[in-house]
Amino acid sequence: MTHTITRWEMRAADEPLAETEVAIENPREGEVLVEVAGCGVCHTDLGFYYDGVRTRHPLPLTLGHEISGRVIATGTGAEQWQDAAVIVPAVMPCGECDVCRRGMGNICARQLMPGNDMHGGFASHIVVPAHGLCRVDEQRLAATGLALADLSVIADAVTTPYQSAAQLDIQAGDLAIVVGVGGVGGYAVQIASAMGAKVVAIDVVQDKLEGLQGYGADLILNSRDISGRDLKKVVKTFAKDNGLRQTEWKIFECSGTAPGQVTAYGLLTFGARLAVVGFTMDKVEVRLSNLMAFHASAVGNWGCLPEYYPSALGLVLDGKVSMKPFIRQYPLSQINAVFTAVHAQEISKRPILVP
């Protein structure tokens, strides 16, 4: 059987994304055809479109890697996914190679990222491998008041900081600091709080900071007003006042900017752990030996292992991580206008494009 599907393709950097219809065959062995419910717009998409970051698959390519939807056709061996509501992981490791078998699918050389290695989610449908899909319990979903489309953003914006939090080993009683509280950082704040940490949120945009009050931020600091040593002093005082340690702070750098990275690095304490979550091409000058002097560590994570998706989804379904105030749906047909507005920073909530 053939399915006719609609995609919005990037053909060249200076051309609007263009709608195309393509006919695709039934999914092959181990694959499923997902009817897209929604696809989140991420800064990585804008990087491909506006900043000349190259996609691994040549153009034309459909962007979009934050996808939720419903399985409407299955290949052999994937029949158990028929009709399932799913989140498609933004990074899908092969699951079979040496690094995958040793639990390091983030660096799998055969991994697939929709909208980078293959056509992505700014489309009516997408064909993906079934292994690694995250099944959504629709009864629990209905109880949250969220739609399946809303969950698209979990693939990346929620799960990437979730794996960062796992790598930082966030525990009850920790002091967590999140630098840059936009789309991804806001969820880092909520996740760290849900895991029992007291959370300091730092940004240069006051509105973003204030939007997180009541959503996990115990202290908000605008690094335009206070920076460097003064910033560290304020956090130390906050720790003291709240009976938290002066050591082993858990720091998330989510701004993906050079100044944000300098701020995050400047907050290292003895035994601190720094997670580099945001991405920038810019370089920073830091004294790397501080890691040695502080017995500290810095770690990164490329996307999130599919194994973490059910726990990250669980935080959302349990109401421990709120999404509604931070997302907004738009029709997929408005993709060009939405890209323009996000690029111009006229949209602060993460847009979800709905076919």
The distance of closest approach from Cβ of residue 238 to Zn ion in the complex, given in angstroms and rounded to an integer, is: 31
Exposed e or buried b per residue across 33-64, where buried means at least 16 C-beta atoms within 10 angstroms of its C-beta: bbbbbbbbbbbbbebbbeeeeebebeebbbbb
Measured from the CB atom, is 108 or 251 closer to Zn ion? 108
Measured from the CB atom, is 187 or 249 closer to Zn ion? 187
Measured from the CB atom, is 108 or 235 closer to Zn ion? 108
Do residues 139 and 209 touch, judged by C-beta distance below 8 A?
no
The distance of closest approach from Cβ of residue 66 to Zn ion in the complex, given in angstroms and rounded to an integer, is: 6
Measured from the CB atom, is 93 or 132 closer to Zn ion? 93
Going from the C-alpha of 54 to that of each of 40, 152, 236, the distances in angstroms are 20, 23, 42
Phi, psi of 171 (to 5 degrees): -125, 160
Measured from the CB atom, is 93 or 186 closer to Zn ion? 93
The distance of closest approach from Cβ of residue 115 to Zn ion in the complex, given in angstroms and rounded to an integer, is: 9
The distance of closest approach from Cβ of residue 92 to Zn ion in the complex, given in angstroms and rounded to an integer, is: 10
Longest Cα–Cα distance in the chain: 65
| Collapsed DSSP state (helix, strand, coil) of residue 52 | coil
Binding site for Zn ion (CB under 5 A): 42, 44, 93-94, 97, 100, 108, 110, 156
The distance of closest approach from Cβ of residue 229 to Zn ion in the complex, given in angstroms and rounded to an integer, is: 33
The distance of closest approach from Cβ of residue 45 to Zn ion in the complex, given in angstroms and rounded to an integer, is: 7
- Record the tokens describing residue 341, joined without a space: 């507005």
Measured from the CB atom, is 220 or 312 closer to Zn ion? 312
The distance of closest approach from Cβ of residue 99 to Zn ion in the complex, given in angstroms and rounded to an integer, is: 6
| Collapsed DSSP state (helix, strand, coil) of residue 106 | helix
Q: Which among 335, 330, 334 is positioned nearest to 352, based on CA atoms?
A: 330
Q: Which among 78, 68, 95 is positioned nearest to 27, based on CA atoms?
A: 78
- Record the tokens describing residue 85, joined without a space: 């509501």
Going from the C-alpha of 7 to that of each of 120, 332, 336, the distances in angstroms are 9, 10, 13
Measured from the CB atom, is 100 or 274 closer to Zn ion? 100
Distance CA 177, CA 248 (A): 11
